[in-house]
Amino acid sequence: MIAALVRRCTARKGSGMADRSDRPTRRSDDELIALLDESASWSGRDARAAILFEAGSLRAALALAMEREPRVVALVRGEDQDIIVFRAQIESLASVR
């Protein structure tokens, strides 16, 4: 189920852009903590990669994800979906103030 979500979230439609499929989509807790209050578009996704909500920062997305558990299995940053945060890491980061 998680592998399917990653494929759906990282699938690229023929945009003419260089292939970035080798670019990592996961980040360490420390890297994500540094991004907590950075303004960016984050979406909460369910197991079918459907968007459940959108937030303007990782901190706001974490709060929404914890309110709507367990439906939210991942948080995805931006249209290019360059960062994916899965449930276990969401729970670990949610306690960071």
CA atoms of 82 and 3, how far apart (whole Å): 16
At 77, phi and psi to the nearest 5?
-95, 130
Compute the mean pLDDT over every residue in the chain, rounded to the nearest whole number: 83
Residues in the chain: 97
Cα–Cα distance measured from residue 21 to residue 89, given in angstroms and rounded to the nearest whole number: 22
Contact 5, 73 (CB under 8 A): yes
Pick 41 or 79 by higher pLDDT. 41
Which residues lie across from 75 on neighbouring strands? 44, 85
Whether residue 16 has pLDDT greater than 50 = no
